[in-house]
Amino acid sequence: MATHSELRDFWERRLEKDWTESGVGYRALGRPFNTWMYKVREEVFLRRVGHLGLIDPSVLDVGSGTGFYVRLWERLGAADITGCDMTDAAVERLRARFPGHRFSRQDAADLDAFDDDAFDALSCMDVLFHITDDERYTSAIGEFARVLRPGGTLVISENCLQRPEQRGEHQVNRTLEWIAGTLDKAGFDLRLRVPMLMLMNAQVDASVPWRKTWGGALRAATLTGPTGWLAGAALYPLERRLVRRRRESPTTELLVCRLRG
């Protein structure tokens, strides 16, 4: 398993070369397919977070990457948006893309640039399962609780396994029980857990035969840019229906939590 320094170097090199949806997303499936995948993520985020009724929130976006969710917070009317990322490659580009917002290089597990009780809402999307050290993960959740005001909203995406956890060099898929327990210990109440994707991502919480079969089919369908675009376009309408109708997902889910006062 990679150390924290190795992980930072990995993401620095990756985003330096590819600051796009594929750079921050499922890179093996290519940018055209990822573009369709992120359309689904966008719809889920805007629908679910938009329904929370947050009024002009002050927001911290942790692990901003390309600024995809910064843009969505803008659309939701956030009064003040601050972003951070662990890589210089992302922060430099984010400052140029969003000159009206503040960005700094910060690790999720150590948000020392930000004061206690500084934000009404915090998002950390597609980041936490890339923290391979459980202590750093727990520290990150603790930092989220520290910088949020009592009653504040935490929005994260996670792979909440109801099967045994899966550990890799750059990603750890943890169990729902462990994630929920970590959130609870930090003072968060888990209010909502819904699918963010269903078929357009790795089936990490499915049976091994299905996971391998579907993963192979996706990779085959996205071998080239044109076929990846067609595969994404074909799956997109089905994926939109599935994320609305299903309560749980075999892949990434959106979690909304409230910090206890």
Concatenating the DSSP letter of every residue in 78-147 gives -SEEEEEES-HHHHHHHHHH-TTSEEEE-BTTB-TTS-TT-EEEEEE-S-GGG---HHHHHHHHHHHHHH
CB-based contact 62:131 (threshold 8 Å)? no
- Each residue's pLDDT, cut to its tens digit, for the chain (261 residues) gives 667 777 767 767 877 776 666 556 677 788 999 999 999 999 999 999 999 999 999 999 999 999 999 999 999 999 899 999 999 889 999 999 999 999 999 999 999 999 999 999 999 999 999 999 999 999 999 999 999 999 999 999 999 999 999 999 889 999 999 999 999 999 999 999 999 999 999 999 999 999 999 999 999 999 999 999 999 999 999 999 999 999 999 999 999 999 998
Tokens representing 218 are 């996706």
Q: What is the pLDDT of residue 1?
A: 64
Express the helix, strand and coil content of the chain in percent, nearest 5 each.
Answer: 45, 20, 30
Residue 261 CB burial class (10 angstroms; 0-12, 13-18, ≥19) = exposed
Q: What is the pLDDT of residue 36?
A: 96
Q: What is the pLDDT of residue 24?
A: 61
Find where tokens 């950390």 sit.
124
Q: What is the pLDDT of residue 23?
A: 59
| Angle formed at CA 141 by CA 136 and CA 144, multiple of 5 degrees | 125
The SS3 assignment for 157 reads: strand
Number of other residues whose CB lies within 10 A of the CB of residue 59: 25
Tokens representing 251 are 């892949």
Burial readout 128-155 (b: 16 or more C-beta within 10 A, e: otherwise): bbbbbeeebbbbbbebbbbbbbeebbbb
What CATH number is attached to the domain comprising 98?
A: 3.40.50.150
Q: What is the pLDDT of residue 43?
A: 98
Domain that holds residue 213: 4-259
Total domains, the chain: 1
Q: What is the pLDDT of residue 30?
A: 86
